[in-house]
């Protein structure tokens, strides 16, 4: 079941702010040349399982993930759903590739996502943060995403609790009003009986 943002108006403002926060908090700090970083990432991926589906692009830096976040945000709703369906396809019983799981986590976590699912996002992010091959920057990014998703889950939970309390209070008021109406009817009946039939 898709989680609905409690404040739709804020969702439109949250996307650019969220991406800006990610850019500021997780900007790459490495001074290594791009070629060296790419070679390192390629070496890391060569040690993955042979049955693992090769990612479209190497998980080199946060920039690639942030670019994907912006790309996914700009997709129409139907295309977002198709994208998630493709990413979710499991190759037999093999675990989804690291980059695929990263993209899925982003697709489930983004406020603007039509496939938003905070529970699934949190599960994926918890799994990703246990990966030993992640760089410090990647861990920072996924940690920030997990904190964001966790806070959203807590807010939605509090909102639901408030709604339940409101509904309970409304039900209590309706029951009280019914009891008052019943008492008035009983009182009227007793008065009519005491007065007796009019001559």
Which run of H or E residues covers position 169?
A: helix 136-195
Separation between Cα atoms, residue 61 and residue 53, nearest integer Å: 20
For residue 117, pLDDT over 90 is answered with yes
Q: What pLDDT does 2 receive?
A: 47
Domain locations in the chain? 8-155
In the three-class reduction of DSSP (H, G, I as helix; E, B as strand; rest coil), residue 193 is classed as helix
* Residue that wins the pLDDT comparison between 68 and 89: 68
Geometric angle at alpha carbon 172, from 166 and 175, rounded to 5°: 145
Model confidence band, residue 46 (pLDDT cutoffs 50, 70, 90): very low
pLDDT given for residue 48 in this prediction: 42
pLDDT band for position 82 (50/70/90)?
A: very high
pLDDT tens sequence across 128-179: 999 988 888 888 989 999 999 999 889 888 888 888 888 888 888 888 888 8
Position 195 scores a pLDDT of: 77
Mean pLDDT, to the nearest integer, of 42-64?
48
Q: What is the pLDDT of residues 6-35, one digit of tens each?
A: 444 445 545 555 555 555 544 444 444 444
**Which of 51-65, 146-160, 176-190 is the least confident region?**
51-65
pLDDT at 14: 54
In SS3 terms, 54-111 reads as CCCCCCCCHHHHHHHHHHHHHCCHHHHHHHHHHHCCCCCCCCCCHHHHHHHHHHHHCC
Q: Is 42 helix (H, G, I), strand (E, B) or coil?
A: helix
């Amino acid at each position: 079941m898709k989680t609905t943002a409690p404040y739709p108006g804020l969702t439109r403002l949250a996307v650019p702010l969220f991406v800006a926060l990610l850019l500021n908090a997780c900007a790459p700090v490495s001074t290594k040349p791009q070629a060296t970083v790419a070679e390192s990432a390629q070496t890391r991926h060569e040690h993955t399982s042979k049955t693992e589906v090769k990612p479209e692009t190497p998980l080199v830096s946060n920039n690639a993930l942030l670019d994907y976040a912006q790309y996914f945000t700009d997709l129409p709703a139907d295309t977002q759903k198709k994208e998630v369906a493709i990413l979710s396809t499991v190759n037999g019983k093999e675990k989804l590739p690291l980059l695929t799981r990263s993209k899925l986590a982003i697709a489930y976590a983004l406020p603007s996502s039509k496939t938003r699912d905070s529970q699934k996002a949190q599960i994926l992010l918890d799994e990703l943060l246990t990966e030993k091959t992640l760089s410090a920057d990647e861990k920072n990014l996924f940690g920030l995403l997990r904190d964001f998703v966790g806070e959203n889950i807590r807010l939605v939970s509090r909102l639901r609790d408030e709604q339940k309390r409101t509904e309970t209070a409304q039900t209590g008021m309706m029951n009280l009003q019914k009891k008052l109406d019943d008492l008035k009817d009983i009182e009227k009946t007793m008065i009519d009986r005491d007065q007796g039939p009019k001559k």
